[in-house]
């Protein structure tokens, strides 16, 4: 127990660029994420998606909710607009995700540690989707370990004493 609520304003939580693509014409699109609360069995995050950002079909280790706060996003073949509540059971996958022309702002909650996964066929389909949109993955900076709880860095692929790999996106 924490002894009561822990209240944070999203503007007080560090922002991390966790995913980025680059289009042939030089434009880029990113997902910027703020890990609002991280416990070993719970994750809440606030995301900003740039217009046209594309993310693969994936799932998370825990039941997962995404709520669209503003903008729009295609999730698979479903258009999700402001007010959409997207629920996924642990072990299922959803997507691909494509941010609308105005981008998208989301709040996500995972009843679990939050790491993502995808199936090999989903990864291949994602690479094909990027190609169809004349885009490719682009590098993102590692997440500063100071932006994560101490327990989060241990055992993660790519973890070092100062930096860790993204805990939620593109770590199949």
User: CB atoms < 10 A from the CB of 21, how many?
Assistant: 20
Please count the structural domains in the chain.
1
How big, in percent rounded to 5, are the helix, strand and coil portions of the chain? Answer: 15, 50, 35
Answer yes or no: is 48 within a domain: yes
CATH code, domain with 114: 2.60.120.10
**Domain membership flag for residue 61:** yes
Residue 72 contacts residue 103 (beta carbons within 8 Å): no
Domain that holds residue 45: 13-141
150 assigned to some structural domain: no
Residues 85-97, mean pLDDT to the nearest whole number: 94
**Tell me, what's the pLDDT at 151?**
67
Please report whether residue 25 resides in a domain. Answer: yes
The verdict on residue 146 lying in a domain is no
Nearest to 167 by CA among 105, 86, 112: 112
Model confidence, pTM: 0.85
Question: Could you tell me if residue 52 is inside a domain?
Answer: yes
User: Where are the alpha helices (H) located in the chain, listed in sequence order?
Assistant: 120-132, 150-153
Give the confidence band of 152 by pLDDT, cuts at 50, 70, 90: low
Helix (H, G, I), strand (E, B) or coil at 132: helix
Q: Residues 6 or more apart from 142 whose CB is under 8 A from it? A: 158, 163, 164, 165
Residue 116 lies in a domain: yes
pLDDT digits (tens, 9 = 90+) for 103-137: 999 999 999 888 888 888 888 999 999 999 999 99
> Which two tokens mark 94?
């959803």
Checking if the pLDDT of 153 tops 60, the result is: no
Q: Is residue 153 part of a domain?
A: no
């Amino acid at each position: 127990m924490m002894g009561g609520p822990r209240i944070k304003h999203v503007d007080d939580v560090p922002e991390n660029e966790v995913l980025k693509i680059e289009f042939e014409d030089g434009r880029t699109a990113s997902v910027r994420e703020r890990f609002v609360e991280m416990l070993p069995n719970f994750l809440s995050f606030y995301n900003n998606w740039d217009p046209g950002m594309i993310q693969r079909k994936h799932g998370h280790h825990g039941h997962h909710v995404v709520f669209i706060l503003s903008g729009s996003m295609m999730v698979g073949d479903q258009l999700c607009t402001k007010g959409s509540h997207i629920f996924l059971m642990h072990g299922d996958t959803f997507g691909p995700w494509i941010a609308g022309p105005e981008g998208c702002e989301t709040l996500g909650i995972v009843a679990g540690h939050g790491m993502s996964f995808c199936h090999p066929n989903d990864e291949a389909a994602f690479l094909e989707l990027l190609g169809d949109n004349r885009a490719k993955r682009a590098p993102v900076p590692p997440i500063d370990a100071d932006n994560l709880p101490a327990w989060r860095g241990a055992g993660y692929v790519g973890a070092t004493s100062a930096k860790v790999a993204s805990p939620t996106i593109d770590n199949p």
